[in-house]
């Protein structure tokens, strides 16, 4: 018997849960040895059938939605297919990523032949914090750098965020497919987790029956925002201990736009806009800050 999944939001039509890293959404022949499945665990936990409407990679943790009846499943699936949703992810990546980047880089499915047509893929990135450790993970460098990046995909290709960050030369720490093996092992030894550091942080989508815009949050509050931002509604405890440890126990330097309001002369605060730009950076509007889960009339554009 597995530990019950943490429920973030639920009514008679749908449920949002926190998917732990290492769990599959449902059974698949590709991972025949796996025993942890969100769909089966949630079905047993709620005592009713549940319907998957989107997916997260096995290594990704965070907000995952399931429908509780077939009509809701059709409506929610349609919302994802028609890009009526708004997703925000957090990732820890190799090196100092650009302050802001917009990647418009077509992708073909991972298992497609080389001559298969590519599909449009678009992701916006923003660096929230950066980290420098005074020890080398690579003998070519004296220090090890990492960045905390917010990712907002506007298309839904498989492994899109992971592949676009690789395209920027800033792969996600722990990404065994698109990252660097020696660096992943170096970080695993220090963090105590051999895992993909990608987190489904926030999801906005229209309610399948009322049409109201649901704004769902994983419960992970950034330290730089916690002092000035209302915390999510609902249960106070969510299974984000690994991410909380990463963000609070390591010497991250937060950008001015996200840092807590403290002494403006502190030497620990840096403007991330001064970071070296590794790619052509598009001019982006500031992304919306964290808001607690709530319902509002659903706009014509994806919930933001």
Q: What is the pLDDT of residues 147-167, one digit of tens each?
A: 999 999 999 898 999 999 999
Residue 256 has a pLDDT of: 56
264 lies in some domain: no
180 lies in some domain: yes
Here the tokens at position 221 are: 């509050």
Structural domain of residue 159, as residue ranges? 6-107+118-256+271-283
Active site residue 120: no
Q: Sorting pLDDT into bands at 50, 70 and 90, what band is 303?
A: low
Is the pLDDT at 247 greater than 60, yes or no? yes
Is the pLDDT at 80 greater than 70, yes or no? yes
- pLDDT one-digit tens code per residue, 10-53: 999 999 999 999 999 987 766 667 778 999 999 999 999 999 99
DSSP string, 144-177: EEEEEEEEEESS--TTHHHHHHHHTT-PBTT-TT
0.85 exceeded by pTM: no
SS (H, E, C) 204-256: EEECCCCCCEEEEECCCCCHHHHCCCCCCCCCCCCCCHHHHHHHHCCCCEECC
Residue 265 has a pLDDT of: 33
- pLDDT one-digit tens code per residue, 190-230: 998 899 999 999 999 999 999 999 999 999 999 865 544 44
Query: Of the ranges 64-73, 131-140, 164-173, 223-232, which one carries the lowest mean pLDDT score?
Result: 223-232
Specify whether the CB–CB gap between 130 and 254 falls below 8 A. no
232 lies in some domain: yes
27 lies in some domain: yes
179 lies in some domain: yes
Q: How far is CA 210 from CA 13, 75, 144, 206, in A?
A: 10, 11, 49, 8
Here the tokens at position 210 are: 């009322």
Domain count, the chain: 1
Is the pLDDT at 235 greater than 80, yes or no? no
- pLDDT one-digit tens code per residue, 268-289: 333 344 444 444 333 233 333 3
Helices (H), the chain: 38-46, 70-81, 160-167, 181-191, 223-226, 241-248
Here the tokens at position 212 are: 């109201």
261 lies in some domain: no
Residue 260 has a pLDDT of: 37
70 lies in some domain: yes
Determine which one of 57, 115, 256, 263 is catalytic: 57
Residues 6+ apart with CB under 8 A from 13: 67, 68, 69, 72, 207, 208, 209
The residue assigned the tokens 């890009």 is 83
CATH code assigned at 189:
3.30.2350.10
295 lies in some domain: no
Here the tokens at position 8 are: 């973030």
- Above pLDDT 70, what percent of the chain? 77
């Amino acid at each position: 018997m597995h530990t019950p999944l943490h429920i973030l939001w639920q009514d008679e039509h749908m449920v949002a849960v926190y998917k732990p890293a290492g769990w599959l959404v449902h059974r698949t022949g590709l991972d025949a040895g796996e025993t942890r499945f969100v769909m089966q665990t949630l079905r047993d936990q709620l005592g009713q059938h549940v319907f998957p409407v989107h997916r997260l990679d096995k290594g990704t943790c965070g907000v995952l939605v399931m429908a509780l009846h077939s009509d809701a499943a059709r409506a929610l699936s349609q919302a994802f297919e028609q890009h009526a949703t708004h997703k925000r992810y957090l990732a820890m990546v190799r090196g100092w990523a650009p302050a802001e980047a917009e990647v418009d880089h077509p992708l073909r499915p991972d298992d497609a032949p080389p001559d298969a047509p590519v599909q449009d893929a678009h992701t916006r990135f923003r660096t929230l914090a950066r980290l420098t450790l005074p020890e080398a993970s690579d003998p070519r460098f004296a220090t090890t750098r990492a960045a905390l990046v917010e990712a907002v995909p506007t298309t839904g290709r498989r492994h899109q965020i992971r592949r676009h960050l690789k395209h920027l030369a800033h792969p996600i720490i722990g990404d065994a497919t698109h990252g660097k093996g020696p660096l992943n092992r170096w970080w695993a030894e220090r963090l105590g987790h051999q895992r993909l550091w990608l987190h489904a942080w926030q999801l906005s989508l229209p309610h399948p029956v009322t049409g109201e815009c649901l704004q769902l949050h994983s419960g992970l509050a950034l330290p730089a925002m916690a002092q000035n931002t209302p915390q999510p509604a609902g249960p106070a405890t969510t299974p984000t201990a690994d991410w909380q440890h990463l963000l609070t126990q390591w010497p991250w330097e937060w950008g001015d736009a996200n840092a807590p309001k403290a002494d403006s002369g502190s030497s620990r605060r840096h403007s991330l806009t001064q970071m070296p730009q590794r790619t052509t950076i598009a001019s982006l509007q500031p992304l919306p800050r964290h808001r607690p889960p709530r319902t509002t009339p659903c706009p014509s554009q994806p919930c933001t």
